A and B are shown apart, each in its own frame.
Chain A
Amino acid sequence: MEKRIRVPLSREDALSLKAGDYVCLTGTIYTARDAAHKRMQEALERGKPLPFDIRGSVIYYMGPSPAREGRPIGSAGPTTASRMDKYTPALLDLGLAGMIGKGRRSPAVREAVMRNRAVYFAAVGGAGALLSKAVTSAEVIAYEDLGTEAIRKLTVEDLPVIVCMDAEGTDLYETAAEEYRK
């Protein structure tokens, strides 16, 4: 069973999602990884605005490979989310509603997810060619000098993801492995 969800994420949709749900996302998301998170944090420390409206937004932890002529993007799979853990609680407290990545999150991120009723989605790591097919447009909107690490505004159509941590803090990585452990 698949759920089709619009992004930016409404409060109602965020609360309806449960760990283990297979979801197709359609709408607008933003890419940011290590270097862009560092810059966003520096902006906040200096009292400057973030490069996009974070309220209700979904950030995709992803740095694409270069696009060929006539295509919106190159390979576009998730990077390891835990490297962003240091920066994430502050963004969630500002209204970030969802994140797409891969791998485990820190206890502090989990608390912030629960506190703000947010969602952490996993995309399948290493499926960058397949996932790129869901991206219909991409535009660099900030930190262009960072190359692949620049912030991109993406339009996606049915981007396949799995709810890994829901607003209740249920973590699929913890529960799923137990089922098949010998």
Chain B
Amino acid sequence: MRTVQVSHITDAIKEMCIQVNYELSPDMRRVFEEAERTERSPLGRRILGQLSQNLEIAASDRIPICQDTGMAVVFLEIGQEVHFEGGSLEDAVNEGIRRGYGEGYLRKSVVDDPILRKNTGDNTPGVIHCRLVPGDQVKITVAPKGFGSENMSRVFMLKPADGIEGVKNAVVAAVEDAGPNACPPMVVGVGIGGTFEKCALMAKHALTRPAGEHSQIPWVKELEEELLSRINGTGIGPGGLGGTTTALAVNVETYPTHIAGLPVAVNICCHVNRHISAML
């Protein structure tokens, strides 16, 4: 048994919330540079150039990359030999978010009730997903999610007979529907299988995989490549103003499912696909 003070979780989450909102991870920068090289539309190239410049200004002048600094999504992979001390783990996570968004000059975008809609003033609560894993470490991933693209995400409960073609059509339909609203070029997270909520969670988690890295499963890797090519053939382009770069990456996760179902979730993220991980 290893003891972890929850205050360390708070500190780590605070730092990660700030870091990720000012600097994109190296994988995202790489796919950006690639897009600037390959984009065919002159206006598209100009927009990609502005987005690169935006990243530079964000880092050098300490201005968040996007004003929508997101609702904080936190994935915790907790080693089953870990014992937490010093208070509630959930409270510690939210305290990290509170401090990160306060001290980091990040926007407070969370309302306390979906209908009454009063801003909580500190961007809490976050959305926390915990998984128990073997070992004595804690892996924390912070992925603040902007809602321009979140609003365009979809779950499709397909039939087994729809097969892989049905899956492809669903993903492309979601992207076409999102179009300019989701701040393209996008990163597209896809969950296939499981149950209604499991596929949505996989789609979200898929966005935290480094852009440009493919699934280890051969048919899934092929699907990712084909979807990326089809999505870039929609013509939506950077800013939705036409071009050959509509998505920077398509990341797919899969899970066993029921004999009667083929759930597919499409979680769309804008080009500001923020994700950062740490081990404690």
Contacts and interface: CB of A to CB of B under 8 A. Distances in A.
Contacts of B53: 130
Interface of B: 40-41, 43-44, 47, 50-51, 53-55, 57-58, 61-69, 105-109, 117, 119, 121, 146, 148, 151, 179-181, 183, 233-237, 239-244, 270-272
B32 to A, nearest CB: 11
B54 A127 contact: yes
Contact of B179 (A65, A68, A173): A173
B181 A102 contact: yes
Given A147-B121, A173-B180, A133 B57 contact: yes
Contact of B58 (A129, A147, A164, A181): A129
- Quick one: which of A74, A75, A82, A124 has the most chain B CB within 10 A? A75
B277 to A, nearest CB: 22
- Quick one: which of B65, B179, B183, B239 has the most chain A CB within 10 A? B239
14 contacts: A22-B43, A35-B117, A74-B107, A76-B67, A77-B67, A77-B68, A102-B148, A122-B180, A128-B64, A128-B65, A128-B66, A130-B57, A148-B108, A173-B179
A160 interface: yes
Contact of B54 (A65, A68, A126, A178): A126
A59 interface: no
Q: Which 4 A-B pairs have the closest CB atoms?
A: A176-B242, A181-B235, A125-B183, A103-B181
A177 B175 CA distance: 13
Q: Looking at chain A's contact residues, is the secondary structure mostly helix, strand, loop, or mixed? A: mixed
Contact of A65 (B51, B69, B272): B69
A92 B54 CA distance: 32
Contact of B63 (A103, A128, A162, A178): A128
A168 to B, nearest CB: 18
Contacts of B106: 65-66
Given A68-B105, A103-B240, A124-B239, A82 B63 contact: no
Interface of A: 22, 35, 62-68, 74-77, 79-80, 82, 102-104, 122, 124-130, 132-133, 146-149, 160, 162, 164, 172-173, 175-182
A122 B241 contact: yes
B235 A65 contact: no
Contacts of B148: 79-80, 102-103, 125
Contacts of B179: 103-104, 173, 177
A108 B211 CA distance: 39
B54 A128 contact: yes
B183 A65 contact: no
A50 B157 CA distance: 45
A124 B65 contact: no
A103 B41 contact: no
A127 B66 CA distance: 6
B224 to A, nearest CB: 18
Nearest to A71: B63
Contacts of A126: 51, 54, 65-66, 146, 183, 270-272
Contacts of A67: 105
Given A177-B236, A180-B40, A128 B67 contact: yes
A181 B233 contact: yes
Contact of A63 (B44, B47, B51, B107): B107
A173 B146 CA distance: 22
B64 A147 contact: no
Contacts of A80: 148, 151, 181
Given A79-B148, A129-B57, A177 B51 contact: no
A75 B180 contact: no
